[in-house]
């Protein structure tokens, strides 16, 4: 089945302590994030989120959202 162009994948890091909080970054269906297309601020947030897995954030999960 082909994906609709309206589907967007996000790599989501959820807060372990605060429901509804966390970080989400655009990614491909396998969870690959294109660092080259990100702003410096988004890239810094991504690296922070990765470093906080298990401390403040959950292991990231790929989620599909329809737009």
41 inside domain: yes
Is residue 36 included in any domain, yes or no? Answer: yes
Burial of 16 (0-12, 13-18, 19+ CB in 10 A): middle
Q: Which residue has the higher pLDDT, 4 or 14?
A: 14
Q: Can you give the residue range of the structural domain that contains 30?
A: 7-66
Q: Is residue 28 part of a domain?
A: yes
Measured from the Cβ of residue 33, the count of other Cβ atoms closer than 10 Å reads 19
pTM comes to: 0.83
Number of domains in the chain: 1
Q: CA–CA separation, 28 vs 38, rounded Å?
A: 14
Residue recorded with tokens 């999960």 = 61
pLDDT in tens, 8-58: 999 999 999 999 999 999 999 999 999 999 999 999 999 999 999 999 999
Q: Is residue 2 part of a domain?
A: no
């Amino acid at each position: 089945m082909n994906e609709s162009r309206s589907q967007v994948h996000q790599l989501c890091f959820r807060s372990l302590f605060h429901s509804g909080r966390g970080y989400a970054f655009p990614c491909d269906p396998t969870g690959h994030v294109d660092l080259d297309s990100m702003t410096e601020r988004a890239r810094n947030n991504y690296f922070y989120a990765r470093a906080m897995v298990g401390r403040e954030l959950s292991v990231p999960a790929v989620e599909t959202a329809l737009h």
